[in-house]
Amino acid sequence: MCASTTKMWFLRILFAFILVVRVKGVVKNSQDCNIPAIYNFGDSNSDTGGSSAAFSPAGPPTGETYFGIPTGRASDGRLIIDFIAESLGLPFLSAYLNSIKANFEYGANFATGGATIRRLNESWFQHGVSPFSLDVQVEQFDQFKTRTTYFYTQDKSNLPNPDDFSKALYIIDIGQNDLGACFRSLTNPQCIATFPDIIQDFATAVQKLYDKGARAFWIHNTGPFGCLPISTTNHPNPEPGYFDEIGCRKDQNDVAIEFNKQLKDKIIQLRTELSDAALTHVDMYAAKHQLISNAKNQGFEDALSYCCGYHKNGVDIWCGNTGTVNGTVVSADSCPDPSKVISWDAVHYTDAANYWIANHIIDGSFSDPPVSISQACSKSINM
Ligand SMILES: *[C@@H]1O[C@H](CO)[C@@H](O)[C@H](O)[C@H]1NC(C)=O
Ligand SMILES: *[C@@H]1O[C@H](CO)[C@@H](O)[C@H](O)[C@H]1NC(C)=O
């Protein structure tokens, strides 16, 4: 009897100990959402193969650092969305448009390179704008949800559990091509005048996803457009003040900042309208700007260099292509060490830069409210 009492006490103490450890763990992760799936919407910054599946695929040297083959990602390796998926314990997202080896068990990616928030007409397609604008991506999601829910009852393989749509994280990273199209066709003040309509289209997309059951949103604002090497090259004699202290184009960054301000105001408004939604705003501009301004201390070489492509004296030969410059054939190959360069192809970021950015945003350092991505469902913190 004595022995059994001792044993009971031992077990009680052990149990209490386990409970304390567990409670401690629970407190630390009190808002952990156990996100079962990701639905992603956006442009080439998060396209994991959609554009390549729909149109002419991106060739080598894209993918060389991590995948070893082109995967349709505009990078030498992984994108921020890949690191996000990894941090949530989920596999890389399959592109909705990709019919080869796609697995939608843990979500789907509707992003396509060149996508805009605003639907632009076909005269823009020759400039790389995607016909899969944000409103189309939301339609595709609607069809995805309806059809997978139907087929799940027959065969679950590679399909998401319909119960997971309301628990999934809905990530949006789009706007860069709306700015690009603006800069190509309008003056900066004219551009800014179009923003209220563009931001309204964005809000409509969020509202539609909410109506389809989306609850947790993780929204990236747009990066410092004027720091893309394609924006900073080909300006041999800039007037004073044209570039900021890092060498980024100040006018384009100012337009991006105005866009982001209007986006953030709209997200704050949406929080009151979509009462059951958790809307986390992520200041991607600040994260990317922090990396570019501290390139050297963060292990990168020149802040505004790029790894692959030739962009000089008004000649643009894009990464992986070959062209002729003054009678000489130039192959736009990749640099010897992409891990030391922030920009992959003068527009998109390298695997190493994406890793840095993802690591800095995942923990909530750039989020409003300041929640980490694993807690981005927390409505309570959101209010
Ligand atoms: C397409 O849109 C642009 C403005 O973005 C406009 O100037 C042009 O006329 C439109 N083209 C067609 C074919 O509708
Ligand atoms: C071609 O060569 C001329 C003369 O050296 C030079 O001025 C010009 O910038 C070169 N063009 C390109 C695209 O490099």
Please write the tens of the pLDDT for every residue from 324-371: 999 999 999 999 999 999 999 999 999 999 999 999 999 999 999 999
Residue 282 has pLDDT above 90, yes or no: yes
pLDDT at residue 214 greater than cutoff 50: yes
Average pLDDT over residues 306-320: 95
279's CB contacts (< 8 A; 6+ apart) are: 206, 217, 219, 267, 270, 271, 382
Is the CB of residue 279 less than 8 Å from the CB of residue 292? Answer: no
123 Cα: distance to centroid of ligand 1 (angstroms): 6
- 169 burial (CB, 10 Å; 0-12 / 13-18 / 19+) is buried
Tell me how far apart the alpha carbons of residues 275 and 273 are, in angstroms, rounded to a whole number: 6
Residues designated catalytic: 44, 345, 348
What are the tokens at 79? 């994108």
Interval between CA 175 and ligand 1 midpoint (Å): 19
Q: Residue 80, Cα to own-chain centre: how many angstroms?
A: 6
Q: Could you identify the atom of ligand 2 that is nearest to the CA of residue 325?
A: 13
Confidence of residue 313 (pLDDT cuts 50, 70, 90): confident
Instruction: Work out the average pLDDT over 54-65.
Output: 96
- Look at the domain 32-304+348-375 and name its fold: Rossmann fold (3.40.50)
Tell the residue nearest (CA) to atom 14 of ligand 1: 121
Mutate to test the pocket of ligand 2, among 233, 326, 328 (most ligand atoms within 8 A of CB): 326
Q: Ligand 1 pocket by C-beta < 6 Å: which residues?
A: 120-121, 123, 185
State the ligand closest to the CA atom of 317. Answer: 2
> Which atom belonging to ligand 2 lies closest to the Cα atom of 314?
13
Q: Are 128 and 102 in contact (CB under 8 A)?
A: no
Tally of CA atoms within 13 A in the half-sphere of 222 that contains its CB: 31
Helices (H), the chain: 2-28, 50-54, 80-87, 134-152, 176-185, 188-211, 229-232, 250-273, 284-293, 351-362, 379-382
Ligand 2 closest atom vs CA 315: 13
How many Å apart are CA 268 and CA 210, to the nearest integer? 15
